[in-house]
Amino acid sequence: MNTKEFNIAVKEYSNRLIRFSDKILLNTSVAKDIAQDCFIKLWENKDNVAPESAKSWLFTCAYRMCLRYIQSNKRFTEEVSLEHNAYEMPNPDLKKIVKDALDLLNENQKAILMLKDYEGYSYQEIGEILQLNESQVKVYLFRARQIVREYIVDLKLVF
């Protein structure tokens, strides 16, 4: 990977990487830091990373760094719960509601849902990024969507 390809990767994936980390961590500034660290690592390993695999490499890096961050700051993230979020004021914007519902998911579910819906990855690709097998990915995704659906129903947005 040369400088030009690296810059293309930055342009293409920087916002996606921040959003991915932000949804997992619920902290935009930390998400930015993690994304930046990932690009620094990518630059350091530019000789070993092919341009076509840069995207999955970056998301794998970001996911691992998010997990590390969560483990080191576990006591602060435990406050988030389903009950706390489920009975907020209803929001007519469905996208906003679904985004809020993401906060109820655990890291794996959140990461899988993000990679599937936002990035359009297949089960196999998600499994490679998150070190899971395809059936695990499918189960996690099913459970994640179920939680989102329940959240929407709880808000009485649908009949």
Chain positions contacting other proteins, by CB under 8 A: 3-4, 6-7, 10-11, 14-16, 18-19, 28, 32, 35-36, 39, 43, 94-95, 98-99, 113, 117-118, 120, 141-142, 145-146, 148-149, 152-153, 157-159
> What's the closest the beta carbon of residue 100 comes to other proteins, in angstroms?
11
> 70: which 2 tokens?
């969560």
d(CA 158, CA 138): 25
Nearer to other proteins, 2 or 81 (CB): 2
> What's the closest the beta carbon of residue 12 comes to other proteins, in angstroms?
9
> What's the closest the beta carbon of residue 129 comes to other proteins, in angstroms?
17
User: What angle do the packed helices 94-102 and 134-154 form, to 10 degrees?
Assistant: 120
What radius of gyration do the chain's Cα atoms show? 17
From the number of C-beta atoms within 10 Å of its C-beta (0-12, 13-18, 19+), residue 31 rates as: buried
Nearer to other proteins, 80 or 94 (CB): 94
d(CA 137, CA 131): 10
Is residue 57 within 8 A of residue 47, CB to CB? The reply is no
> What's the closest the beta carbon of residue 130 comes to other proteins, in angstroms?
17
Handedness of CA 19, 21, 23, 29 (dihedral sign): negative
> What's the closest the beta carbon of residue 107 comes to other proteins, in angstroms?
17
Nearer to other proteins, 4 or 75 (CB): 4
Nearer to other proteins, 2 or 71 (CB): 2
Nearer to other proteins, 37 or 107 (CB): 37
